[in-house]
Structure 1
Amino acid sequence: MAEQLGAKRDIGLDLLKWLAIISMIADHLRFIWPAEHWLFVVGRLAFPWFCLAIAANVARSVAGQAFTAANARYLQGLVIFALLSEWPYRWLNGPSPTLNIMPTLALGLLVAWGLHHRTRAAGLMALATALTAGLASDRLMYGLAGVLLPGAFVLALRYRSLAWLLPAGLAVAANMTNLWLRDHPLQAISLMALSAAWLSAPVGLALLRLQVQRQVWRVGRWGYWFYPLHLLLIKLITIIDYT
């Protein structure tokens, strides 16, 4: 989620990250207000937009140089916070059969590197990652489709035109790993949620291309800490509400 060191600041990317954070918070507020089903629809934007933010960071790096110190720090941040976030995630959402979102994003980063750098080593790493994700799909939030989504956005950023259709389709497929959506695909709330997932790709790509004139508070490495801490805060609020 954080920008790579040395990359020029992109205000459109900061805006995208803020909207992803806001939609993620909206989704998780359902633990406090479970009757507010519209929050689930808004929340379908969060994961694709985080994947697009990763893709945008990857696309701005020098092609062919996958194994750099900056990239190692980027992956290290995701892996560390995947570990740190698991307990807060499990405390808030104990029945979930999947891990928290960070492992999916970390694996997605590896696939995105392979598609951007297009070296043999990076390609083999991306292929091995995709195969691993396929085998572990049931344990990964958003499954194999979620792991492939950052890479699909890398292609959409490169080729433009109708290339957004690939990440749009994968965003829908990733959301279909949700058991409730899979069992009730034709209910109104499901159709709205899947429509939001589909629209996340073209809307997110359009946001990145906006010529934003106003200053936007930068989403830096504090964004990693925000994920587990906001899970803890929401859990504490639910405890207070029930006492």
Structure 2
Amino acid sequence: MLFTREGIKIVAMVCMLIDHVGLTGLAGEHWLVCRMLGRIAFPIFSYQLASGYIYTSNKQQYIKTIAIFAVISEIPYNLFFGGIINPFYQSIMLTLLISIIGISIIDKWCNFNAHLLKSTIIMLLVLMIFGTLGTLTFVDYGQMGVISTILLYVGMQQPNKYIKSTIIFAIICWANLSIGGLQIIILNREVALQSFAVLSLLFIIPYILQGEQKILQGNKAKVFKYVSYWFYPVHLLILSMIT
């Protein structure tokens, strides 16, 4: 159950909830532990976004769904962060939306097996343009959040699961160790809080090596999919009401 598509998504949702509880102050003196665990969430969501795009039967509907929930999440997100519209800090859903649009362009115009040079140039342009867009729109995790998500999609095109695992391992380590941000002291050493995001690999890599399985089918899978979409705005709304 743990190393399935649904299992690691539940891990990501729980870690995000813990992170946001830490932000509210409800965790008291344990807020820093909550923030550490919260770093696990984004790499898993990024990986699953790219994976979902690859396996979905309707790519346009997939993008549209991400866009709809990016809009739905805006008010709960603003309520959670002080109840005001802050144009300089946007939600993770906008990060994922920008990423998925970049992924769709690479999917349409790049064929690395047939046209390596052309595809590489297009990919680099997409990374530069959409990474810059992530910076200009002040999305959560900024340009590195967008760039790493797009690169995860490219890395997942590798059919060999061991090579794929190695590429994804490298991308997540590189991206999250590059983000920086809040520094904390552990064993008398300064450590970037974001570096704890590499713990997500403890769930992603076994999932890949196991064959990227899912356990839910049919209507149950559809219900779980929309529960996972609604989780983000609903938990933000509930926490904003509590605090």
Q: TM-score, normalised by structure 2?
A: 0.74
| Structure 1 residue ranges (4+ consecutive) displaced by more than 6 angstroms after TM superposition | 211-214
**1:1-243 counterparts in 2 under 5 A?**
12-30=4-22, 31=24, 32-36=26-30, 37-60=32-55, 70-94=58-82, 97-116=88-107, 118=110, 127-128=125-126, 130-137=128-135, 139-157=138-156, 158=158, 159-160=163-164, 162-163=166-167, 164-174=169-179, 176=180, 178=181, 181=182, 184=183, 187-188=185-186, 191=191, 193-201=193-201, 203-210=203-210, 215=215, 218=221, 219-238=224-243
Q: Percent same amino acid at aligned positions?
A: 23
Unmatched tracts of structure 2, length 5 or more: 112-117
Change in 2 beyond 3 A, CA 1:168/1:203: farther
Cα distance in 1 between the residues matched to 2:164 and 2:202 = 10
1:235, CA displacement in angstroms? 1.0
Q: Secondary structure of the residue that 2:89 maps to in structure 1? A: coil
Say if 1:111 and 1:127, in contact at 8 Å, map to a contact too. Answer: no
Assess, with a 3 A threshold, how the Cα gap between structure 1 residues 14 and 190 changes in structure 2: closer, same or farther.
Answer: farther
Q: CA RMSD in A?
A: 3.3
Report the TM-score, using the length of structure 1 for normalisation. Answer: 0.74
C-alpha spacing 1:74/1:27, structure 2 compared with 1 (3 Å):
same
Matched to 2:242, the amino acid is I
Q: Is the 8 A contact 2:103 2:153 kept in 1?
A: yes
Cα deviation for residue 76 of structure 1 reads: 1.0
CA distance in 2, matches of 1:152, 1:202: 19
Q: 1:19 and 1:126, CA in 2 relative to 1: closer, same or farther beyond 3 A?
A: farther
Count residues with an aligned counterpart. Answer: 214
Q: Give the whole-Å Cα distance in 1 for the aligned partners of 2:190 and 2:102.
A: 29
CA distance in 2, matches of 1:152, 1:129: 8
